Amino acid sequence: MISLAGRDILHSWSKFVLTGIGLGLLIGVTLSMAGIYRGMVDDAKALLNNSGADIWVVQQETQGPYAESSSLHDDVYRALLALPGISRAANVTYLTMQVRLGNTDVRTMVVGFEPGQPGEPSYLVAGRQITRSHYEAVADVKTGFQLGDTIRIRRHDYRVVGLTRRMVSSGGDPMVFIPLKDAQEAQFLKDNDAILNERARTTANPTLNRPGVPGLLDAILASQNANHNVNAVLVQIAPGTEPDHVASEIRRWKHLQAFTRAQMEEILVSKLIATSAKQIGMFLVILAIVSAAIVAFIIYTMTLGKIREIAVLKLIGTRNRTIAGMILQQAMGLGLIGFIVGKTVATLWAPIFPKFVLLEPGDAVRGFIVVMLICALASTLAIRVALRVDPATAIGG
């Protein structure tokens, strides 16, 4: 038996292909939306992987350092190192800001870290790690910075000495790594006018500027302008140690909040990007409905255009299931063309997106199944119309 659907598609292939391309672009948008969500999750996981930590220690009663702000004294890590089961602990700061390069600025997450400690960029694609104590930076390639570029962070210039890849914040902003001391200064240091005003206020305060206590004023002024805070301490545990046990010990004895890798992943994926995920989910549902409506409309219109032929086919003895099969196969064919076009365009335009778009094969398989189901569902309206065609309409009168 010849394939009626196949012959019809070949006969009017241009209409089919053009419709398939239109549907494909819609499917491409749908796959890209799923890819954007996957990219956000992957960014969050990359952030955790690249930090090299087993436990994140942050300010008590906060969910920092990524979901909430957190502030700790920078000597906390010494106390942590004294706890059993902890092999390494290092201070780290995170600050989302605009970093200037010439006349342009780039939105980045500036990370302050101690070279050779957890928090350091785990690998470089060009250049070298930071070796000087000040004014050197390693940047993610997505910043667009090149080796040797001079970038400005607050009031200081930094030279880009290394480039890394896939080092982004949970929001997708590329990271710029600088020495911890510089980052602390960038994060907390006031501007010169504010320092002058503060100094004048303190000097004018008789409680703080006592003539009988030499050195008190200088000590207070020094304390006001120095910063010894960090956002988190990244902890690596000794082999064979349970992260949950160590985290509970930190919470119990140090009165700090400690999150294991699983807990931090939960915060990032289920809380930080949850609203975005729901937003994308809504878009996916709407796009699925729109796709179904388009396929249903196209197949329905095409079937209406063949009513006389369908009546003749029924009159000459074609089974209802053959006619239904023809319409179903055409809908599936349209879906197949649409999916191939959609997958292709989604793959082609994914690298152009400013944020990471991760197209997972599993999503493609699920997308294909959903597209086929939608097409099958959408064809039912046209099949219903075709099956209601009276073969007598082929005979005049």
Partner 1 sequence: MKGFGIHIEGLRKRYGEGDTAVDALKDVNMTVAPGEVVGLIGPSGSGKSTLLKCLGAVIEPTAGRMILGDEVIFEDGWKIADLRALRRDRIGFVFQAPYLIPFLDVTDNVALLPMLAGKPNGEARKRANELLDALDVGHRAKANPSQLSGGEQQRVAIARALANQPPVILADEPTAPLDSERALSVVRILNDMARQFRTAIIVVTHDEKIIPTFKRIYHIRDGKTFEERGLGAA
10 touching partner 1, by CB under 8 A? yes
Work out which of 44, 106, 313, 382 binds partner 1, going by CB under 8 A.
313
Cα–Cα distances (Å) from 228 to 99, 153, 184, 204, in that order, read 23, 19, 7, 26
Work out which of 49, 263, 322, 347 binds partner 1, going by CB under 8 A.
322
Q: Pick the piece of the chain touching partner 1 (CB under 8 A) from 71-79, 109-117, 295-303, 388-396.
A: 388-396
Is the CB of residue 229 less than 8 Å from the CB of residue 75?
A: no
Beta carbon nearer to partner 1, 11 or 255: 11
214 touching partner 1, by CB under 8 A? no
Is the CB of residue 18 less than 8 Å from the CB of residue 341?
A: no
2 touching partner 1, by CB under 8 A? yes
- Burial class for 180, CB neighbours closer than 10 Å (0-12, 13-18, 19+): buried
Is the CB of residue 92 less than 8 Å from the CB of residue 132?
A: no
204 touching partner 1, by CB under 8 A? no
Tokens 């140690």 -> residue: 241
Q: Pick the piece of the chain touching partner 1 (CB under 8 A) from 64-72, 163-171, 251-259, 316-324.
A: 316-324
Q: Pick the piece of the chain touching partner 1 (CB under 8 A) from 22-30, 80-88, 158-166, 389-397.
A: 389-397
Beta carbon nearer to partner 1, 187 or 330: 330
- CA distance linking residue 390 with residue 43, whole number of Å: 59
389 touching partner 1, by CB under 8 A? no
222 touching partner 1, by CB under 8 A? no
397 touching partner 1, by CB under 8 A? yes
Q: Give residues with Cβ within 8 angstroms of 169, minimum separation 6.
A: 43, 47, 66, 94, 96, 109, 175
Work out which of 25, 101, 221, 312 binds partner 1, going by CB under 8 A.
312
317 touching partner 1, by CB under 8 A? yes
Site for partner 1 in 282-311 (CB under 8 A): 308-309
Q: Which one-letter amino acid corresponds to residue 266? A: E
Q: Minimum distance from CB of 12 to partner 1 (Å)?
A: 7
Tokens of 391: 């073969």
Which of 116, 221, 238 shows the shortest CA–CA distance to 177? Answer: 116
Q: Minimum distance from CB of 331 to partner 1 (Å)?
A: 16
Cα 60 versus chain centre, distance: 27
Q: Give residues with Cβ within 8 angstroms of 314, minimum separation 6.
A: 320, 323, 389, 391, 394
Work out which of 8, 43, 120, 182 binds partner 1, going by CB under 8 A.
8
Site for partner 1 in 337-366 (CB under 8 A): none
316 touching partner 1, by CB under 8 A? yes
Q: Pick the piece of the chain touching partner 1 (CB under 8 A) from 9-17, 71-79, 258-266, 292-300.
A: 9-17
Nearest 10 degrees: CA dihedral of 303, 305, 307, 308? -150
**Residues engaged in binding partner 1 (CB under 8 A):** 1-2, 4, 7-8, 10-12, 308-309, 312-319, 322, 390-392, 394-397
